[in-house]
Amino acid sequence: MVFFRLAMPLLLGTGVLIAKPQVLRLRNMVDAPATQSASEQYKVRLSLKIVPYESTSNTEPNAQQVDSLNQAKALKRILRCDLENSDHFYIGRYHIVTRPRGWNKQTQTVQIDIHIAERFGGDGQVEEDLGSVLVTGTLQGEQSPYTLQGYRKIKLLDKQLQPKILVEAGSGASVVAHR
Task: For residue range 84-102, list pLDDT tens digits in order.
Answer: 899 999 998 999 999 999 8
- Main-chain phi, psi angles of 84, to 5 degrees: -120, -20
pLDDT, position 40: 58
Residue 31 binned pLDDT confidence (cut-offs 50, 70, 90): low
- Does the pLDDT value for residue 118 go beyond 70? yes
Average predicted confidence (pLDDT) for the chain: 78
| Cα atoms in the 13 Å half-sphere on the side-chain side of 24 | 6
Q: What type of residue sits at position 151? A: Y
pLDDT, position 173: 64
Separation of first and last alpha carbons in the chain: 64
Q: What is the pTM of this model?
A: 0.70
pLDDT, position 34: 55
Residue 28 is given by DSSP the state: H
